[in-house]
Amino acid sequence: MSGTSSTVSADQHYVWHKPHFIESLWVRIGVIILSVVYLVYALSTLEIDFQRVARGIPRAMQIFSGAIPPDFAARGSLIVSGFIESIQITFLATFVGVLLSIPFGFMAARNVTILPVYGLGRAIVIVARSLHPVVLGVLFVKAVGFGAVAGVLTLLIYTIGFVGKLIAEAVEEIKYGQIEAIRSTGAGYFTILIYAVFPQIMPRLIGLTMYQLDINLRASAVIGLVGAGGIGSTLNSAFGRYDYGTASAILIVMIGLILVAETISGKLRRFTR
Amino acid sequence: MLEIKDLVKSYGSGEPVLKGLNFSTEGKNLTAVIGSSGAGKSTMLRSINRLVTADSGQIIFEGVDLLKLQGKALQNARRQIGMIFQAYNLVDRLTVMENVLSGRLGYVPFLQGAFRKFPQDDIDHAYQLLKRVGLSQYVNKRCDELSGGERQRVGVARALMQNPRILLADEPTASLDPKTSELIMELIANLTEELHLPVLINLHNVAQAKYYAARIVGLRNGVMVFDGKPDELTDEHLEKIYTSKDELSEQLNPEMETAK
C-alpha cells in the first residue's frame, strides 16, 4: 500500500464517460425515432379546429365576466350546506376507511401473514386502488342513487386502496427483533401484532390519516360533480343554471378550505414524528 | 432439566450451522457459551425457544421435547423461557413499564394485553423489578429515550417478568461499552443467583465468561469442543475453539484489545 500510492502521477490517460441510460446504440436511436414519429402522428390526428377555438373565446369571456364578482349571497345557504355535507362525507369516509384499512393492510403485508391471506389482502387493496374515485362515484351513484351515501362509499373504497397499501408497506418495514422478543414471551399471534407491530406503524398511521383527510376533501368536491353529494353537486347545478357568480364563489371557498386543511394536516403530521 | 440431543440446523442449502450438537444442564448456575461468530452459539440458543426451527434432534426441557410443540403448547413453553437479546429488542415506542409488562403476555388473555390491563400482582412485580434494576424513575418514559445500558436493564426486567424456569441471553453486552457491559453482566449474574435461575449465556468475551460462569462450553463449527469449569479452560482449548488468528489473539491478550 505504501510506495506506489504515495504519489498520484498523471502520465497515464484514461477515457471515461457516463454510461448511457440505454446501452445499445440501435435501441437508443430506435426509441428516439419512434417517440418523435408517434408525437407527430398524434398531433396530426387531433384535428384542432382553429375557427371553433376562435368562436369559443367570446363565450369564455362571457363566463369569466359572469364569474366576476363572485356572488356569495344569492345562494349562500346552498353553498354552506354543500360544504358542510362535503366535510361530513370526508370525515366519515376517512375515519371508517382508515379503520378498515388496518386489517386489510396487515393482511397485505408479506412478513406477518401466511401466503393465502397475503394474496387476498393484496387483491383487496389492488382492486380498491385500481378505480379512480370519479369512476367509483359514477358506479355508486348508479347503485345507491344521488347524494352523500354514494360519496361516502366512493371515498371509503378510495381510502382503503391508498391507506391499506401504505400500511402494508409500513408493516413490511418494521424491525423484526421486536417481534422476536414479544414472541419469546409466549405471546400469541394477535398479541404480537398489537404489542410489537402496531406501535411501530403508529406514527405512519397517524400521518397517513391526516394526509388522507386532505386528499378526501379534494376528492369529495370532484365526485360531487358526478352526483355523489356535497359541494361538487352544488357547483354542478350552479353551472347548469349558468349561475357563474355562485360557481366562482364556490371555487373560492373550496380553494380556501383546501389551503386550511393542508396547513392543519401538515402541522399535525410534523407533530407526530 | 434441559437436554439438547443431536441438534442439526442449516439455513437454506448451505453447510449446517449446528452439526449434531449435544448439551445438557441440570444445575441452577450460569453457563457461558463461547466460540467464533458463526460457530452456532446464537442458533443454539434461538433453537431452544423456537425462534429458529431446528432441522432434527431433540431439545428436552423439563421432560418435554420442545421441537415437537405447536400452537398454544409452544407458547406455554416459551413463557417459561426468558430471553435477553444483543440488540435489546424492546418495543421502542412503548414505555418502560409496557415493555416490562410484556413479559406477562404469555399469561394474560389477548384483550387484557391489548388494553394493558395487567393483574395487580404483575404490576407490583414489575415495579419491584424496575426498582431492582435501578429504573424506577423511568416507569413512563419511552424506551427509545433510554441509553443502551438502560435499555438492556429493561430487557433483563422483561425476561425476569416471565418468572422463567431458565434464562437465555444472546450476547447481552456486545452492544455496550466495556464499563456498562460489566455492570449488566453483574446485574444478570447477581439477579439469577438470587432467583436460583439457570442461565445460558452467549459471550463474545472469554475473560467475562471465566469471571461470571460456573461452567463454560466452547462451540466450533456447530459442535461442542470444550465443556468444563472456567479454570480448566486453557490457552490450548482456546486455540481449538477460535478459528481465526485475530480472534484468538484478541482473547489471549485482552489488554491489547482495550489499548487499541
pLDDT digits (tens, 9 = 90+) for A153-201: 999 999 999 999 999 999 999 999 999 999 999 999 999 999 999 999 9
Specify whether the backbone of B134 is left (phi greater than 0), alpha (psi in -120 to 50) or beta.
left
Write out chain A residues lying below 8 Å of B77, CB-based: 186
According to DSSP, the residues that pair with B216 across neighbouring strands are B32, B228
Length of chain A (residues): 273
Distance CA B233, CA B226 (A): 8
Selected residues 169-188 of chain A with any CB under 8 Å from a CB in chain B:
175, 177-178, 180-188
Q: For residues A212 and A270, is the Cβ–Cβ distance under 8 A?
A: no
Mutate to test the interface with B, among A178, A198, A202 (most CBs of B within 10 A): A178
Mutate to test the interface with A, among B70, B91, B96, B118 (most CBs of A within 10 A): B91
In sequence order, which residues have a C-beta less than 8 Å from that of residue A101 and are 6 or more positions away?
A: A159, A160, A163, A164, A167
* Confidence grade of residue A232 (pLDDT, cut at 50, 70, 90): confident
Q: For residues B77 and A212, is the Cβ–Cβ distance under 8 A?
A: no
pLDDT at A103 over 80: yes
Which triple of cell numbers denotes residue B203? Answer: 459471550
Q: Over chain A, what is the mean pLDDT?
A: 87
Q: 3-class secondary structure for B132-172?
A: HCCCHHHCCCEHHHCCHHHHHHHHHHHHHHCCCCEEEEECC
Predicted ipTM > 0.85: yes
pLDDT on residue A7: 62
Distance CA A148, CA A144 (A): 10
Which triple of cell numbers denotes residue B183? Answer: 455492570
Question: What letters, b where the CB count within 10 A reaches 16 and e where it falls short, cover A184-214?
Answer: bbbbbeebbbbbbbbbbbeebbbbbbbbbbb
Give me the total of CB pairs closer than 8 Å, taking one residue from chain A and one from chain B. Answer: 82
Residue of B nearest to A192 (CA): B105
Write out chain B residues lying below 8 Å of A194, CB-based: 110, 113-114
Residue closest to A63 by CA, chosen among A247, A250, A231: A247
Of A188, A199, A203, the CB nearest to B91: A199
Residue closest to B198 by CA, chosen among B30, B23, B15, B16: B30
* Confidence grade of residue A58 (pLDDT, cut at 50, 70, 90): confident
Mutate to test the interface with B, among A184, A192, A201, A202 (most CBs of B within 10 A): A184
Write out chain A residues lying below 8 Å of B70, CB-based: none
Q: Report helix angle A231-240 to A244-271, nearest 10.
A: 160
Distance CA A25, CA B40 (A): 52
CA angle in degrees (0–180, nearest 5) for A180-A181-A186:
90
Tell me which residue has cell 375515519: A95
Per-residue pLDDT 10s for chain B (260 aa) are 899 999 999 998 888 999 999 999 988 889 999 998 888 999 999 999 999 999 999 999 999 999 999 999 999 999 999 999 999 999 999 999 999 999 999 999 999 999 999 999 999 999 999 999 999 999 999 999 999 999 999 999 999 999 999 999 999 999 999 999 999 999 999 999 999 999 999 998 899 999 999 999 999 988 999 999 999 988 888 888 887 777 777 777 765 444 43
Residue closest to B4 by CA, chosen among B168, B164, B155, B197: B168
Comparing A6-15, A250-259, B106-115, the range with the smallest average pLDDT is A6-15
Residue of A nearest to B111 (CA): A191
Distance CA B100, CA B36 (A): 32
pLDDT on residue A5: 52
pLDDT at A262 over 90: no
pTM reported for the whole predicted model: 0.81
Residue type, B15: E
pLDDT on residue B224: 92
Distance CA B32, CA B35 (A): 10
Residue of B nearest to A191 (CA): B110
A182/B91 touch (CB, cutoff 8 Å), yes or no: yes
Write out chain A residues lying below 8 Å of B175, CB-based: none
Output A151 or A4, whichever has higher pLDDT: A151
pLDDT at A53 over 70: yes
